Amino acid sequence: MTAKSQTASRFVPAIFAAVLGLALITLTGHVQAAALHDAAHDVRHATGFPCH
């Protein structure tokens, strides 16, 4: 492996994580609080985590 490909292979996961994080923050910042709460509540029930 060349030095250039090693450097690129290190940055790809970091860039992907940054884009994913920014998208998550942007989307959750624009959704209504009730919809976000309902989605989290449904996920808790779907995974079997007690929330009541």
| pLDDT tens-digit readout, 1-52 | 566 777 778 899 999 999 999 999 998 889 898 998 898 889 989 999 887 6
Is residue 43 a contact partner of residue 35, using CB atoms and an 8 Å limit? no
Provide the CA 48 distance to its chain's centre, in angstroms. 21
* Predicted TM-score (pTM) of this structure: 0.56
Q: How far apart are CA 3 and CA 5, in angstroms?
A: 6
